[in-house]
Structure 1
């Protein structure tokens, strides 16, 4: 049986309990709950391997195996599996109350914008807010973030979420304000609205139904690429062609991508809440 490596919670030694009878491994485990404590971490194909995707602060996960300072994990957000350094995760799981809604924010040691920041947090980072003092929220995990940059309710429209990331540099496998790719942009926009969304464009295309027309909020697909429709004629995407998140007219983009040999256009799919 062929299983998608990205979504299979198993190493060569340990597999998740759900795979008993599907994959033969020396050991099976229910896994251990944990959470990303690093501001941003690369989810890698192997210890010190290639980046598949990035995971943001506060993301929940299940640890399947630990080995030599690394943990093989399955992410709760989208089921994506890979390796994270042990220092990037924590077993402390205070309740999540908020998320970062601004493109990015800073974590401070005190409720004072003149303090030296501790870290930068990207859009979508999940937070455990204990209390609010003035214009700052104190996190159970330590540090303070500006209340202007966080929210406790889903966004209503993925388009303005994506547009808040205009100009973000393109980064293969990126999922943050400091670098994002096409599927990362779509995932950030949809999950901000409470719409479950896989991490890669082929998985996104399979997850949502095809539509014969194009309207605001639809996903537009090419081999290995995805964009978000702003209207029937315009879209936003993170593209290596511009190495940035940009607006582009749909018809010229289809022609340009086809002329470059990266087509054909595979059609539109419509996410559902």
Structure 2
């Protein structure tokens, strides 16, 4: 199996290299010019639909399927999708991926330092800094002076403030209240199509990370999230359940997901003009498009 690891804050997963626009060029380098790329206007953000598929965080593995002209076609283990049994498929610039044998071995066996702060900074031994997203995980190799020491995909070690990470091979399943508190920390964060980082989430990416942070694995996209959880009717909704919204007044294709937080309200990452927010189920178009909910409690199988 040909595995590589992401060596930037995050790597974009593109549908097709031929669909990358000029405005996306700052995101193709390593390190990417993240601030310039994220500063694109609303029209360009809307135009990411049909171009960008998902994102992969710093240090995470991808399985290489093909290489072509500076690009690598990969599958992303852990981002479950019916599109490919190996994980979410797409293209990443080759420069944003690397392989170090010691890192690979540590990834397979060591406890992880999970970034549970909204964001953090990794200080490499070389003096370079890497900004880290919420839910970045790196193999932990020690502790020193209030920092967690981690191994990095480039073969170095580095330091992350201990108060900004949780060290565990797998994060424990927490209660519903913790899940809701985690989600509420991101109120106001801008929406980003295909976003999987705390620099911008799409609707299903937001839910994926919130559940992951609380020890529960769910599929990557809204439609499989709706199909693989325990189905819950509108009348049976409980806090912590996912809510799904569909075209044709709730009878068509699912296009949106949020999380019920009780008292007729839900939290979600709505769309490009609107950041993470809380809405009422009586608000339109959500009232007419709500189709059902899904409950995940940990341990679900997606095969």
Q: Please indicate, yes or no, whether the TM-score normalized by the shorter chain is above 0.5.
A: yes
- Quote how far apart the aligned CAs of 1:33 are: 1.9
Shift of 1:48: 5.2
Contact 2:60 2:137 in 1 (8 A): yes
Q: Is residue 295 of structure 2 the alignment partner of residue 270 of structure 1?
A: yes
Distance 2:272 2:200 in 1: 15
Report how many aligned residue pairs link the two structures.
Answer: 233
1:124 to 126, 135, 145: 135
**Residue 72 (structure 2) pairs with residue 64 (structure 1):** no
Which residue does 1:88 correspond to in 2?
96
In the aligned structure 1, how far is the partner of 2:215 from the partner of 2:60? 14
Matches of 1:48 and 1:159 in 2, distance apart?
A: 39
Residue aligning to 1:226:
257
Matched with 1:239 is 270
Asked whether 1:36 is paired with 2:57, we answer no
Q: Following the alignment from structure 1 to structure 2, what is the Cα–Cα distance between the partners of residues 83 and 56?
A: 14
Structure 2: 5+ residue stretches without partners: 20-50, 80-86, 247-254, 299-303
- String of CA shifts for 1:141-161, please: whole Å, max 9, x gaps: 133211111102425142222
Aligned twin of 2:30: none
Q: Tell me, in whole angstroms, the C-alpha distance in 2 between the residues paired with 1:232 and 1:91.
A: 48
Residue 167 (str. 1) matches residue 188 (str. 2): yes
2:158 corresponds to 1:143: yes
Larger RCO: Structure 1 or Structure 2 (Cα < 8 Å, ≥ 6 residues apart)? 2
Kept in 1, the 8 Å contact 2:7–2:98? The answer is: yes
The alpha carbon displacement at 1:230 in A equals: 1.1
Give the aligned partner of residue 39 of structure 2. Answer: none
TM-score (norm 2): 0.71
Contact 1:171/1:180 (CA < 8 Å) preserved in 2? yes
Quote the offset at 1:110 in angstroms: 5.8
Partner of 2:43: none
CA contact (8 A) 1:210 1:268 kept: yes
Question: Does the CA-based 8 Å contact 1:60-1:77 persist in structure 2?
Answer: no
Which residue matches 1:45? 15
Counterparts of 2:263 and 2:244 in 1: how far apart (Å)?
A: 14
Cα-to-partner distance string for 1:198-225 (whole Å, 9 max, x where unaligned) = 1111121112121121111100011310
Higher helix fraction (1 or 2): 2
Alignment of 1:176-195 (within 5 A): 176-195=197-216
Please give the per-residue CA displacement for 1:120-155, whole angstroms capped at 9, x wherever unaligned: 111110111222111222221133211111102425
